[in-house]
Amino acid sequence: MVLRPSQTLRLIAGELAFPGSMRMRQELAQLEQAFVEEAEAARLQRERLQRQAQIRSYERHRRRAHKRGTLRFTGLVLVLIATAVLVTLAMFQTLYIVMG
């Protein structure tokens, strides 16, 4: 292998390397750092989305439970009113028969 004067070899950490190898190592280190940062950002995004989904699920459950409770209460009030009306009618009919 014939080297031009601009392609001199040098000894770096016990290895024979070309002058541009430090730049390549820096670029690889930057790529690796960017990958780590992106992976962390993706993990945080997943956790945030999961928390939001859990909150939405809880809110849906709470709304359904409230709606069912309201319907049950309304049904109970209607049944009590109907019972009072029927008992009143029966009482007056019985009173009419007894007094009549």
Give the start-to-end residue ranges of the domains of the chain. 10-99
Kindly report the backbone phi and psi dihedral angles of residue 9, in degrees, each rounded to the nearest multiple of 5, phi listed first.
Answer: -95, 150
Q: With contact defined as beta carbons under 8 Å apart, do 36 and 28 qualify?
A: no
Say yes or no to pLDDT of 14 above 90: no
The overall pTM is greater than 0.85: no
pLDDT tens column, 81-93: 999 999 999 999 9
Query: What CA–CA distance (Å, rounded) separates 100 from 94?
Result: 10
Q: With contact defined as beta carbons under 8 Å apart, do 42 and 50 qualify?
A: no
pLDDT tens column, 54-70: 999 999 999 999 999 99
φ/ψ region of 77 (left if φ > 0, alpha if ψ in -120 to 50, else beta) reads alpha
